[in-house]
Structure formats: structure tokens, C-alpha cells
Amino acid sequence: MDDFLFSDDPGEVEVQEKSGTWKVIIVDDEPEVHAVTKLALSDFEFQKKRLEFLSAYSGEEAKKVVMDHPDAAIVLLDVVMETDDAGLRVAQFIRETAKNNNIRIILRTGQPGQAPERQVIVNYDINDYKSKTELTAQKLFTVVMSSLRSYRDILSIDQSRQGLEKIITASRNIFASHSIDQFIEGVIQQLTSLLGTVDEAIYATSLVASNDPSDSSDKLVVFTGRGEFARSEGKPIEEVLAPEQMEACRQALQDRGIVYKDNYLFAYCSSEYNHASMLFVSGIPEFLTDTQKHLIKIFSQNVQLAYENVQLQAEIEDTQQELVYRLSEALEQRSTESGNHVKRVANICYVLAKRYGLSYREAELVRLASPLHDVGNVGIPDAILNKPNKLADEEWEVMKSHTQKGYQILRDSRREIVNAGAMIARDHHERWDGSGYPSGKKGEEIHIFGRIAAIADVYDSMRHERCYRPAYNLEEVVAEINSQKGKHFDPKLVDVFNDAIDELEQILARLED
């Protein structure tokens, strides 16, 4: 190593930079080799990042360092240490056991005869092979530089693959979202994953600029924010951005593209309907690869269309819900039950479903479908439906038929909500112990939607006045429902009901008759 400069104590080189470091593992049983290597590369810099050296003095120690630092870029690996093939065993460990295919392995040996180059290159997945006698300071600089470029490109390819997976996943999640809030959070989360880090973010759109249909303003209003902008919803974007940021925002709007400034970006989003939105993200890495920038471009081009589709989905579901409510309320007008009964039951069902452990979508489905639980009452004569006295046996049989009538009306639909309504209409009078109707189902034979609707319907009915009795107070209702645990009601649902009672009472207060 004729160009190397030796020092008794070169010390540790200060390499920590704001932009990070490239980790280099030095594996050699000679301390002088570590000292000389660090000295020769002390002023090395690549993409504004210095080198961070990690030392290991045996093969076994090297394996531990490799496992502790999977993000290391290069390992300078001696062959002969505690055994003649210790370095080769480390190389094999890195690829086969640690499953690290990114790190660049540069084999250095002072005894080439112990490990012939051709044999080593063929049998081991290493990236370079150098004899210590030929590795001058300049050649060491060259091999480290070329290895870092290779490592950078490998990371770029891997990030491209991961980015593509994230874009595909994000697209699926976005289009599957049934909530605008979920959609926006998904956008921010996926963009964060794509860039690696995000400090602050804003999603602003002209679609929410005004509730007045006659207002044609294209001003951007913050829909949601993250970090410093977490409480900026509803504010015009110029009120929350700094002047230089607003200038970059206007440039992105004017160019209908993406503007990168310092550590932040503005990405213009639009669709065929010409609605404009803007993504603002700060805290992005100083160096973005071309692949990352391309994926950001794809993301921004499609996010607005996805947003409008989610908004359309929400509008469709809101319309369905309103129609269900109005039709159910129209049916309730035939009886003396209040119109808000169906709304309360819907909200109660949602709370119970979530606390029971159903998914967000399932809880939403039971909320949307539960107002249809008594749709079969349309086939029950008024004289029976509104009779203030106890029903005669034959009248009771007619009354019980509303479950089957409701199921017949709603069954076999291609719409998820209507099918769920059919299950609820059919099963909400079945009992856990099998004493219910129309089929005498027991336990989990009863659809979970029906079990939830049963306890919600009974709870709300008992808490409100009916033509044949006054309203019960809370203590009486709780006592009655708990007395029916394992009889009328699913035992687990009774426990959920008890835990949720304060929240359920708030629903009753909010939706008074």
C-alpha cells in the first residue's frame, strides 16, 4: 500500500452530517489496516455524505456488525483472520443467512494464494477482489466510489420496486375507501412512505371552497393538514402558507405540475372535470431519485381523480342512506313509534358493531341497513300494528310475519346494503336461546347483524313511550337487558352494551323525538 500515509493514532474521523453517512464495515484482524483505511478515506464524500466506519477484528465479530447494521453500504473484508477462510464464511453469511443482497462486498487479502481470485469470484457472491499490495490510496478511493455508486443504484431499483408496490396498494386502498377522511389520510400516508419522511403536509382543493353552488371561486381551501397544519382545515391556503411557499404553490398551479423547493414540494392535482387540488409536503429528502420523482408525478396525476371517485362514492352512500331513512320513517308513520327511532337504532347499531369487533365496513353496513329492520310492517294491518291492548293469538301470528315479509321484500338484491337489510329484517326477533321467531335459531346461527339490531331495537324502544306502555328509565332498561343475557341476547353483546351505555345515551339525547 505504497500511497498510504501511516499515523500512530489517526483517531476517529468526524463524519456525521445532516445529510447522513455511508456506512463502511472494515473487517480485518490487523488494527493497522483499520487505521490506514480510515485515514486514506478521511476526506471521502459522495452525494454530500461522508463515510461512517464500523470495525470488526474477526469473522464472528463481523457477522454481528453486519446484523446490527443492515443498512451498511460496503464491507472491506479480509480473507484470512482466525481461520484461513474466515472472510469467505462472512461473505457467505451476509448473502445466505443475513439475506443482505444490497451491501457491496470488497474482498481484501494479503495472501492471494489462500483464496484464488477466479475460484472466489465464481463461488462467492462478492463484488470486488483486491490484493492488499495493489490497493493504494487512490485505488481504494476508486473502488469505494464505484461500490457506492453501485449501492446507490441498487437502492434506487429497490425503492422503485417498493414505490410501485405502494402506488398499486395506495390506488387499491384509495378506491376502496368509503370515507373522505380515510382517503386523505391514505394519500398522506402513502406519500410519506414513498418519500421516506414527511414533517408537514397539506391537501387543499377547490371542491370545498364554498357550500354555495353559485360560488365559482377556484380558491384552494385546506381540506386536511398534518404537523403544523393539523388544525388548518377549512382555511384558504394563502392564510396558512409562508409567502415563499405560496409563491411556489402559485407556480405549481400555473405550470400544472410539481415544484421542488429546498426541502418541500407542491404537486398540482387535477382531473378531467378540471377541479384543482394541491399537495404540499415538507421535510422531504434533499436528494430524490428520478424514480421517486416519477412516482410522485404519477401519484399527483391520479390522486384528484381518486378523490372525486371517493367523493362520488360517499355521495351515493349518503343518498342511499337518506332514501332508507325516509322510506323507513314513512313506514313508522303508520305506527305510533317516532320517526327518529330508525336513526337512533342505526347509530346504536354502529357503536355496538365497532365495540363488538366488526370491521369499519361491516359496522357501516349494519348502520346503513338497520333502518330496514321493520320494513315488513308494510304488510301488517293498522288495526294490529297500532292496537293498544294485548294482541290475540291469531293477531300475534300475523304480527310475527313481518320478519318474513321484510326478508321477502329485500332478499336476493345485488346491493350489499339491501342484502344486509334482509338479514336484519329476518333475524332481529330471533333469540340467543332459540325461543325467538320466525325460525327459532340459536346462538351464532343468528346473523350477527340481526343480533346487534335486536339489542339496539329493544333498548331504544324501551327508552321511549309506545301506544301500549310508557317509557322505561335507564336503570330499568339496563336491568332488563342484562336479565336477558344468554336468553334473548348474545352474551358478548350485552357486555358490549354495558360498556357503551354512556355513548348510547348520548345518541338518544342527540336524536330526541
Closest Cα to residue 277, out of 256, 247, 259, 298?
256
Domain residue extents for the chain: 21-155, 177-310, 333-510
User: 224-276 pLDDT, tens per residue?
Assistant: 777 788 888 888 888 888 899 999 999 998 888 889 887 888 888 776 555 67
Kindly state the DSSP code that residue 234 receives in the 8-state scheme.
T
Predicted confidence at residue 466, as pLDDT, reads 73
Helix (H) or strand (E) holding 452: helix 448-462
The answer as to CATH 3.40.50.150 being correct for domain 177-310 is no
CATH topology of domain 333-510: Hypothetical protein af1432 (1.10.3210)
Looking at residue 352, its pLDDT comes to 97
Give the pLDDT of residue 197: 62
Rounded-to-integer distance, Cα 311 and Cα 316, Å: 9
Q: What span, in angstroms and rounded, lies between the C-alpha atoms of 414 and 427?
A: 20
415 Cβ neighbours under 8 A, 6+ residues apart: none
Residue in this structure with the C-alpha cell 483486491, named with its chain if needed: 130
Tens digits of pLDDT across the chain (513 residues)? 444 333 333 333 333 334 589 999 999 999 999 999 999 999 999 988 999 999 999 999 999 999 999 999 999 999 889 988 899 999 999 999 999 999 999 998 876 555 566 777 778 888 888 888 777 889 999 999 999 999 988 887 776 676 566 556 655 655 555 555 566 666 666 666 666 666 677 878 775 434 443 343 357 888 777 778 888 888 888 888 889 999 999 999 888 888 988 788 888 877 655 567 888 888 887 777 777 788 788 777 777 676 667 667 767 777 777 777 777 766 666 655 555 888 899 999 999 999 999 998 899 999 989 988 888 888 888 888 878 788 899 999 999 999 999 999 998 888 888 899 999 999 999 999 999 999 999 999 999 999 999 999 999 999 988 766 788 999 999 999 999 999 999 999 999 999 999 999 999 999 887
Residue type at 256 in one-letter notation: R
- In sequence order, the 6+-apart residues with CB closer than 8 A to the CB of 47 are 19, 152, 287
CATH number of 21-155: 3.40.50.2300
Q: How far is Cα 401 from Cα 269, in angstroms, rounded to an integer? A: 55
